[in-house]
Structure 1
Amino acid sequence: MKFSLAILAVAATTVTTAFTIGSPNRAVSSSKSIVFGPSSASVAIRARETQLGAAKQTPHGGKLVDLILKTDEEKAAAIAKCTKELQLSPRQLCDVELIMNGGFSPLTGFMDETTYKHVVDNIALPDGLIFGLPVVFDTDDEDLQPGDTVLLKDGDRDIATITFTDKYLPNKAYECKKCYGTSEIEHPGALMVATERGKYYMGGKITGLNLPIRDFVCKTPAEVRETLPDDVDVVAFQCRNPVHRAHYELFTRALDDPLVGPGGVVLVHPTCGPTQADDISGVVRYKTYEVLKEETKNDRTRWEYLPYSMHMAGPREAIQHMMIRKNFGCTHFIIGRDMAGSKSSVTGEDYYGAYDAQDFAKEKGPELGVTPVPSLNLVYTEEEGYVTADEAKERGLNEKKLSGTKFRQMLRGGEEIPEWFAFKSVVQVLRENV
């Protein structure tokens, strides 16, 4: 029997009886394929925002949030109001950055209890604007209270201030069941909520001071938008692992999809923040992207990096990724098989069906204002190189396969990696850093 968040569920139930939780919006079948229901509506988050003319796409909610103060005097005044300091965890640092630079537009802070519960239940902000996953500030600090203004730091660097609006005990088991489709701790997202996040969540308004200093530059949505054409479609490609040949073929061929207009470009926009435990580190992933960017230069491919913390939430995370890329100026988004999917760490069983994320993205795409582009199921053949699996089967072509497990074994063993599977430049970076 699988170990779930039973203790969390019991503890949380005692503090959630004062409010009524809406009826579930999805059901989980025995195969763990997740079905999502409709959004609902009510009141919303909005604040000081900046409208941008660059890029074809309109930011989520209509305007792009920019919370970063521009002068040293403004920053000093904001810091002077703080009575406490807090060090941000790596996941919190990603969330703060995306709030203050507009990646999470229209959010202007961490979600209060009302907004949090509405997103968990309805995949939408209280005004009905679609939003995939809750963005919360977690803490175990008993002394932090609503009304406190706190300086948020990354080491010695001042990142932002936050004025807390409320403090609440979340029902973590319920949150996981709704957002990840399961409260089993074998799911990496549920494990993160149970073991990494603090006891309390707090809502709060963010004032931005400085972007984090990373080993790689993560441009703001405004900066990325300035680099994008405003008269053609921009197709986003999300990844959290090194890009191999099949990925490259996938996102370059996506520009030929009938859903994409003529002259479109692809924005390769990998996440470089925390992810599940066995993934390659963000810095190493970045190095592989940089060498590949140089090796495959062309005018229709752009490369940028996203400071986002993965949840492995399958269909709901696909919506979150689409929403973020909308804020970065993208009109289309490539949805791969089992996007942001995860397996049980005990049984190895998939938590989501191979096409759950694609189906949900197709359903929600028109409401979100982003067109999902289903990824091609490509295979490598001896006769024709990369073709679709259907074509290979129809023509009786000989497929060549190499599993991720076998690839890692060959990498560790110093064996030659076939070029049809991985770029030599990427393999060299992995050999040097993994």
Structure 2
Amino acid sequence: MKMKRITTRPPSRGNLPSFIFTILRNPSRGFHSDAVNANPTCTHTIKRTHLVSESMIQTRCKSGKIRKDEALGYFNSMIQTKPLPSIWTFNCLLGALSKMKQYSAVVSMCKQLMGYAHFRPDVSTMTIFMNCLCRLNRVDLGFPVLAITLKYGLQPNAHSMNTLLHGLCKYSSLAEAMELFKLIEEKGYKCNEITYATMINGLCKVGKISKAVEILKKMWEDGRFKPNQDCYNPIIDSLCKESRMDDALTLFRDMISKSVVPDIISYNSLIHGLCNMSRWEEVLPLFEGMEDHGVRPDVVTYTTLIYALCQSGRLEKAKSFLICMLNSGISPNVCTYNVLINALCNDERIQEALTLFGTMIEKRIKPDVVTFTSLISPSCKSGNWEEAVMLFKTMIDHGVLPDIVTYSAVLDALCKEGKTTEALNLVEEMI
């Protein structure tokens, strides 16, 4: 049977696509317990053992420590049990494997289960099934699963619809996502704030900001669902990336006036946008006002500020923010240090950069190729080859391999100093 591509319009119960029959075509040979068949009087004892094993499986799944082979072993035992374990136990197992990103295994299990005549999934089962298909970039097969859900007489919940909508936005096309979104609204399928946030995020990613704003306004007018940060943040971030800072700030103030509390993502987007446009008179008040809304700056906030200050030549101010960051109990990451080390090297303050590099090592923050290249390049340019060689050795000791930028910096310095032989040897080493 040839499988045809399913459109975004969920099929009616009386017109199920061929994929459903493909799933149902190969039922396994059944699940029989020889012990029960041989001695019906032991059914009660087996049911008690069954309940104990179900409890154990659920506990293992919830622990987050279950292994793939262990889960597969449980599944093979469960499908041979008569009667079948509860749907809740199956859901726990499928959900645990899904969290482990074992999407293909979950899809295979679900297909096998659909072949059992006595298996009765619930909405959670079908949603896990749809989610794994979407994660495998087969959102087109998610709709036949929706059809099976309807066939079982189950009502898809908001999570089910959000799974398909997210899959379309991420892996398929925005046009199909919009079609499904309209269908959700027209047919009255269950939805929630996540449904709207998913659609807004999808629109913003392809630059359709005005359409996203329309949906946001519609939410307020409709009144069923109050927009949250996840509805506002994609729009604010997109406006900032397009340098439409006045529009972004207006929306931010509108958000606060409607009692939607901004979060760290809201602030980081605005701070990044304002820094890029050197609107310092607005950056610092915004930064200082974060805690008024119960939002604590994070490593991204500080690194953004430090980078912008370094780019604008305000290196001392950038260093003061590093101290402020440390005093606030926030640990800088490799990106934070790279920004400052690169700025110090560009300002020919190599010893300060090396001191900062030493501090970085002491704090057990692993340097990367950017860190070493920032330090090696000025050492070569200043003719301090001993320092450059030492940094190269340290780089290898840390398990970091030089890249084309690192080699190019050294080659440039060697050629300028007339060290042609060394440069040619280095080219051979690169190859």
Which TM-score applies when normalising by structure 2?
Answer: 0.24
- Structure having the higher Rg: 2
Question: Which protein is richer in strand relative to its size?
Answer: 1
Structure with greater contact order relative to length (CA < 8 Å, sep ≥ 6):
1
